[in-house]
Amino acid sequence: MACYTPWSSGTAYNGGGQASYNNVNYTANWWTQGNNPATSSGGAGSGQPWTVVGDCGTPTPTPTPTPTPTPTPTPTPTPTPTPTPTGLAKHALIGYWHNFTNPSGATYPISQVSDDWDVIVVSFGDNAGGGNVSLTIDPGAGTEAQFIADVAAKRAKGKKVILSLGGQNGSVSVGNTAEATNFTNSLYAIITKYGFDGIDLDLENGVAQGAAIQTYLPIAVKNLKTKVGSSFYLSMAPEWVYVEGGYTSYGSIWGAYIPIINALRSELTVLHPQYYNNGDIYTPYATGAIKAGSADQLVATARMLIEGFNYGGNTFAGLRPDQVGFGVPSGRSSAGSGFTTNADVSNALNCLTRLLNCGSIKPLQAYPDFRGVMTWSINWDRHDNYNFSVPTKNVLKTLP
C-alpha cells in the first residue's frame, strides 16, 4: 500500500482526511490538528481522532516535528468532558426571540419575555461580509440602551441571552483565515457591547461536506471563547439532516455538521437540532422511518447524539447528556411540519430522563442530566397564548 501524505502537526484534518506516520496510513475520524496518529488512534467508539488503515511503503524519516509529545489519555466515550456552565438551568427551556416582525406579530422588548424561558436566543445576527457579523436592533425592542439594559436584567435573573447566526435565510462566510479572524473579532465586539452570554450556530447555507467552513468555523469559535472566557455559551441548532442525517447518507449536507460538532466538543454547551420542517427520520432503532414530531423520534434522535451512531464508515462518539436537547415547533403556525404535541414532549422528556412513558424506542439507560427543549419560537408562543412554554416548563420542573 502506498503511503498517504506524511502527517504534520500544523495541518488541520477534516473527518475522512488521510495521513501517514512511520509507514502506517491513518484516516481522521473527525476534525483534528496536532494529535499524533501513532498515539491518538483507535477503533470505532474509542473516542480517538484517528483510525489505522494499514502499513504502507518502506521506512521513511519521521516528518517534522520530530519530537513526539507525551500522549494524554482520552476519556471514553466523550473525548473532552467539560463542566456544565455555571447558572444554566439543569433542564432548560430554550427559545428564539424575533428581532424582526413576522405573522406572529411585531418585535417587542426582551423585558416582556416570560421568565419561564431559561435561554433567550436573539434572532439573528447579520452577514456583514468577509466573515464579519453585525447586529441591528429592531425598533420594536426599544432603544439600544433599553435593549442592553433588558439583556442585563434577564441575566441578573439567571437567564442566558445569546445571539443566533443564520436561520433559514441567513449565511455567514467563514472560508479562510481572514474571514475566521473577522468572525471572531466582530462577534466579540457585539458580545461585549450588548452583554450576551455567547452565540448559537444556526448556520446551514454553505455548510456541506468538504466546505471550508467545516475547518475555519471551529477555529473562529475557539478563538472567540478564548477572548470571552470560560463562561462562553455555545449552542447549535442545525436541521437534523446535518447531524443524524449522516447515519442515512454521509455526503453533501447530510451529516455536514458532524465535523464541526466534533471539533467543538470542548466548547459546546448544548446541541438541539431542529426536528421539524425536515420529514421523517431513519435511525438505528427501527426498520422504517420514524414519524416527525412523535415522541419516538425525539427519543431516538437524542439517543443517537448521546449513545453515538455510525456515519460514512466512522463512528460519532456520543455527547454528554447535558450537551443534548431537542428542537420542536411551539405550535402549528410556527413550522410547516413536524408539530409535536405537549403530551409527546412530556413523554419524550420522561423517557429520556427516567425511562418512564417510553414508546417503542427506549434509551439504554436513563439520562437525568438531559438538558431540555428548544423551540421556535418565543414570539409564536406568546402569539398562541403560551400554549407551549407553560406546560413544557412545568414538565421540566418535575424532571430529576
Question: Please, where are the H alpha helices in the chain?
Answer: 144-156, 177-194, 213-228, 258-263, 295-307, 342-354, 378-383, 389-398
Written as nine digits, the cell of 123 is 434572532
Cα–Cα dist 339/299, whole Å: 15
Tell me what pLDDT residue 204 has.
Answer: 76
Name the CATH topology of 92-398.
TIM Barrel (3.20.20)
Q: For the segment 262-320, what is each residue's pLDDT rounded down to a tens digit?
A: 999 999 999 999 999 999 999 999 999 999 999 999 999 999 999 999 999 999 999 99
Please compute, for residue 85, the number of CA atoms within 13 A of its CA located in the half-sphere on the CB side.
Answer: 26
CB 173 within 8 A of CB 186: no
Report the catalytic residues: 204
Q: What is the 3-state secondary structure (H, E, C) of 257-295?
A: CHHHHHHCCCCCCEECCECCCCCCECCCCCCCCECCCCH
CATH architecture of 1-74: Ribbon (2.10)
Q: Specify the domain boundaries for CATH 2.10.10.20 within the chain.
A: 1-74
329-348 mean pLDDT: 96
Tracing cell 504534520 back to the chain, one arrives at 8
Contact yes or no for 370/352 (Cβ under 8 A)? yes
Among left, alpha and beta (phi > 0; psi -120 to 50; other), residue 210 is left
Helical spans, DSSP H, in 25-161: 144-156
Q: Residue 72: its pLDDT value, please?
A: 36
* Bridge partners of residue 254, in order along the sequence: 251
- Mean pLDDT (the chain, rounded): 89
Residues of the chain with CATH 3.20.20.80: 92-398
* 69-125 per-position pLDDT tens digit: 334 343 344 444 444 445 899 999 999 999 999 999 999 999 999 999 999 999 999
**Model confidence, pTM:** 0.79
Mean pLDDT of 316-333: 98
Q: Are 302 and 352 in contact (CB under 8 A)?
A: yes
